[in-house]
Amino acid sequence: MVLSKTERDMEPDELGMNPGIRDYLDSHGLSIRETGRVTAEHKERYLVRTITGEFEAEITGHLRYKAESREDFPAVGDWVVISSYDEGLAFIHEVIPRYSIIKRQAVGRHGDIQVIASNIDYAFIVQAADRDFNINRLERYLTICHASRVIPVIILSKTDLISATDLESIVESIRNRIPDIHILPFSNESLEGFESIKTFIEKGKTYCLLGSSGVGKSTLVNNLTGNEVMKTGQISHSTQKGRHITSHRELTILANGGIIIDNPGMREVGITDNSEGLEITFDKILALATACKFKDCTHTQETGCRVLDAIEKGEIDWNAYQNYLKMEREKSHFELTLAEKRQKDKAFGKMFKDYKKNFLQDRFKK
């Protein structure tokens, strides 16, 4: 269903078109008129924004049939090929290969992946400076971003609630543990630091907001658009778990360029097969581990271990090392569960085949 028409055709750049996606369209004989970007998803119903307007869409049976995992379904941020969108529902035929994808271990079911968003250039990792700030969690988000080929930026919100000296010490503690990262402190209330965020956002680039519930992600989107596009609210800290203000992901195109994806707050930032993410986030630790003279060193108790030496000398932070070990264990556990799951699926497939062969054949013979 056509939900809205833009007054003029948009430029593909305004939707975040980049050379890689354009090349794909060209080399597959696809025109911009049959492509769009997924802006929201509600139970397998999608909203797709094209250069002419916004459409409601479903996936074709073929795409569903071909899908092997959750990752094969469209996600917010995806470029998709659609058809027949003038009357009625549009159909999504194909998901154009993504240049980046942010995913995490799904809450609850181990070994399952949840896709957060795709085709992202920058992740805005938002933590509230007053009570939410947690450097271990920041490293978790960094690992996910690095594994996704997305550039992370740390946004410290609610700076109006803390003193300037407290803010300084928070920024200092991040700098000590995470070198070379943009840190943008700001307040949605006083709007201090807001201009820096605004100028950071470039036309045609896509930004994804990540962070816990209640840190001010949606309020930031509203401030950026100058409109109440996202519902925001007060979270009661005494109420049950799982209360979030934002209930689904949504992509918003900003008037002054830039595309921003708001997300529901996350309680857990589960690690999946993020080897590369861990390598980049903890490059110093991994370099030392490689340089360690002991073969098969676990770098946890061996006297003379290069990593443990560095920790003793204060070259690497002990807390960072503990955090690294914890995530490394989670990664291994995830990989193991995934392998077990695959094995089970295979076994089930075989059982089903045998059943068809033996049982059904016997029945029909009679």
What residue ranges bind Mg ion (CB under 5 A)? Answer: 217-218, 245-246
Nearest residue (CB) to Mg ion, 136 versus 232: 232
Q: Judge whether 244 and 265 are in contact, CB under 8 Å.
A: yes
Query: Residue 98 to residues 16, 63, 66, 319: CA-CA distances in angstroms?
Result: 12, 16, 17, 35
Fill in the per-residue mask, 294 to 323: x = in contact with Zn ion (CB under 5 A), - = not in contact: ---x-x-----x-x----------------
Among 6, 136, 232, 337, binds ligand GTP (CB under 6 A): 232
- Does 219 interact with ligand GTP (rule: CB under 6 A)? yes
Burial bucket for residue 251 (CB in 10 Å: 0-12, 13-18, 19+): buried
Among 10, 178, 245, 338, binds ligand GTP (CB under 6 A): 245
Closest CA to 3 of 54, 72, 73, 77: 54
Strand, helix or coil at 357? helix
Among 9, 34, 56, 160, binds ligand GTP (CB under 6 A): 160
- Total residues in contact with ligand GTP, by rule CB under 6 A: 22
Among 92, 170, 271, 292, binds Zn ion (CB under 5 A): 292
Q: Judge whether 146 and 271 are in contact, CB under 8 Å.
A: no
Nearest residue (CB) to ligand GTP, 6 versus 232: 232
- Does 214 interact with ligand GTP (rule: CB under 6 A)? yes
CA-based R_g, the chain, Å: 23
Burial string for 183-209 (b: 16+ CB within 10 Å, else e) reads ebbbbbeeeebbeebeebbeebbbbbb
- Does 229 interact with Zn ion (rule: CB under 5 A)? no
- Does 331 interact with Zn ion (rule: CB under 5 A)? no
* Site stretch for ligand GTP (CB under 6 A), options 48-56, 217-225, 323-331, 350-358: 217-225
- Does 324 interact with Zn ion (rule: CB under 5 A)? no
Phi, psi of 323 (to 5 degrees): -65, -40
Q: Judge whether 108 and 267 are in contact, CB under 8 Å.
A: no
Least distance CB 303 / Mg ion (angstroms): 50
Nearest residue (CB) to ligand GTP, 242 versus 349: 242
**Distance separating alpha carbons of residues 229 and 219, to the nearest angstrom:** 9
* Site stretch for ligand GTP (CB under 6 A), options 25-33, 168-176, 215-223, 342-350: 215-223
User: In the numeric block, which tokens belong to residue 71?
Assistant: 């990752």
Closest CA to 272 of 66, 71, 63: 71
Q: Interface residues for ligand GTP in 177-206 (CB under 6 A)?
A: 187-189
* Site stretch for ligand GTP (CB under 6 A), options 30-38, 71-79, 110-118, 243-251: 243-251
Burial string for 323-362 (b: 16+ CB within 10 Å, else e) reads bbeebbebbeebeeebeeeeeeeeeeeeeeeeeeeeeeee
Q: List contacts with Zn ion (CB under 5 A).
A: 292, 297, 299, 305, 307
Q: List contacts with ligand GTP (CB under 6 A).
A: 157-158, 160-161, 187-189, 213-219, 232-234, 244-246, 264-265
